[in-house]
Amino acid sequence: MPSSIPTYAFHKPTGQWRAKGRSPVGIDQDPGSNPTGENDTPNFRPVSYATLSEARAALDAPTDANYVMWSHGNQHLEQVFASLGANDILVLPERPEPYLIDSSNGFMAAGVKEIDGTGANGMKDGSRVPIVSNNRLWFAMSRARRGILGMGPGVIIEPSASGWSAPRQPILQNEPDGTMLRYMLDGTSAPLVGAANKLIEVDHNYPFFANFTMRGRDFGGVGYSGISSASHTVTTIKRVHFDGCWRGFAGIPNGETGGLSILQGTYLVEHCDFTSNNGPSPIMWNRTTGGAVNHVRTSLPNYGMFTFWRSGGVNNFQNVWLNSRQTGMNLEENMAGFELNWHTGKLNLDYSGNKFHFSMNPASGSNKINLVDVIPSPNGYTPNRLCLNIYTTSGVQRRQDITCNTLTPEYLPGSYWIA
C-alpha cells in the first residue's frame, strides 16, 4: 500500500504528539531515533545501509513499488529515468563519483520554444531565452518515475558542469505589465507565474525520495528548485540532505524557489537537512492539505522562508529547527481550517529588517498556530515576543487561535486582529 499520513493528537500529560492508534512514540515514525536537538547532525542526514532490504525496512519504503538497482555506469539520471517503468524507484549505491543530471539543455519543457529574458537590471528587455522542448519534462532537467532511494551519504546527485546558462527571471511585481510569458512552438503564448525550473520532478501520485545528498550549481543567475512534487496524493521525503541544490534571488515570484516544492496533496518530510546560502525558501507548500515534518533543520537561506500558500488541513511539526534571514514563516492565503501544530525546535530570525516570526495573509479564514516548547528568537519586531504580522486582510485572524508556551504572542498591527 502507498505511504500514508497518520492523524496526530497532542497528549497533554506527556507533552507529546501521538499518532492515533499507535504507540506513544511522539509524532516521529522512526521509534529507533533519539534526537538530541539542533546539533544532532546524524538525525538530519542520510545513513549507510548494507543491503536494500535493510534500507527499505529502516526507511519504511513503499511495499508496492518496484526497486531497480543502478546498473547504468556513468549515464545521466534523465536517460535512466526515461527507461524505467511507472512504478519504479531507482536505487543508487554509494560511490566516489556523483550521479549526474545533464544540464547541457537547461530546463526543458514540452512544446515551449522561448521565455521572456531579462537584462542586467533584472527587468524584461525584449530578449527571449531559448527552451529545448522535451515531451517528458516541464521546465525540468530530469523526471523521476516513482522516486529515488539512496544507500547512504555517499550518494551525491548534482547537475553536470556545462556551458548552458540563463539570466534571472523577472520579478513580476517590478514589471509594468506584471507578466512573464512562455512562447510555444505552436505560436501561442501564456503567462509563467512562479519560478517553474527544477532539477528533478516526478511522475507518480505517491512519490518517494530518500537517503541521499543533492547539490546544485550556478547557471548564470537563473532560479530553480531542487525537487518538485506536483499534483500528488502523498509526497514522502526522508533523510535527504538538500545541500545547496536550489538557487533564487528573491522571496517573491518569479525569484522565489525551494529546496523542496510540494504542490497539492499531503506530505511527510522526515530527518532532512536544508543547507544553502544561495537559495530562498527551504520548503514551499502550494495548495497542500496537511501533513507532517519531523526532525528537520535549515541553515540561513539568502531569501525566503518556509511558505504555505493556499494550503489547508492539519500540519504537524516536531523537532524542526528553522533559521531564517527574513520572516520565519509565511502563511499566505491559506484555506479556512489551516492548522500548524509545532512541538519542539527553534524559530530563529537573523534579519536586520522588520523581524516577524510569522507573516500572514488570512484571506480565507483564521489560521491556527500552536507552538509547544518551540524557541522563537527574542529579537523580533517587539523584543521578547512571538511576533505575528498580518500584511493584508484585516478583521479575520483571531488572537485566540495563536498559542505559544515559550514567548507571549504579539499581534501586529493590533487593529488587524480580532478576539
Give the β-pairing of 112-118 and 181-184. Answer: antiparallel
Residue with cell 497532542: 10
For residue 306, what is the enclosing H or E element? strand 306-309
How many angstroms separate the most distant Cα atoms in the chain?
64
What is the rounded distance in angstroms from the CA atom of residue 322 to the CA atom of residue 94? 29
* Residues 284 and 307: beta-carbon distance below 8 Å: yes
Per-residue pLDDT of the chain (419 residues; tens, 9 = 90+): 444 333 333 333 333 333 333 332 233 333 233 445 899 999 999 999 999 999 999 999 999 999 999 999 999 999 999 999 999 999 999 999 999 999 999 999 999 999 999 999 999 999 999 999 999 999 999 999 999 999 999 999 999 999 999 999 999 999 999 999 999 999 999 999 999 999 999 999 999 999 999 999 999 999 999 999 997 799 999 999 999 999 999 889 999 999 999 999 999 999 999 998 777 899 999 999 999 999 999 987 777 689 999 999 999 999 999 998 888 999 999 999 999 999 999 999 987 777 899 999 999 999 999 999 999 999 999 999 999 999 999 999 999 999 999 999 999 999 999 99
* Residues 385 and 355: beta-carbon distance below 8 Å: no
* Residues 350 and 324: beta-carbon distance below 8 Å: yes
Specify which residues 379 forms β-bridges with.
Answer: none
| Closest CA relative to residue 137, chosen from 88, 91, 79, 92 | 79
The per-residue pLDDT for 302 is: 74
The per-residue pLDDT for 22 is: 32
For the chain, domain boundaries: 8-104+138-164+195-304
* Residues 257 and 280: beta-carbon distance below 8 Å: yes
- Does pTM surpass 0.95? no
What is the rounded distance in angstroms from the CA atom of residue 358 to the CA atom of residue 356? 5
* Residues 175 and 116: beta-carbon distance below 8 Å: no
What is the rounded distance in angstroms from the CA atom of residue 82 to the CA atom of residue 365? 43
The per-residue pLDDT for 7 is: 36
The per-residue pLDDT for 24 is: 28
The per-residue pLDDT for 233 is: 92
What is the rounded distance in angstroms from the CA atom of residue 119 to the CA atom of residue 15? 54
The per-residue pLDDT for 15 is: 35
The per-residue pLDDT for 13 is: 33
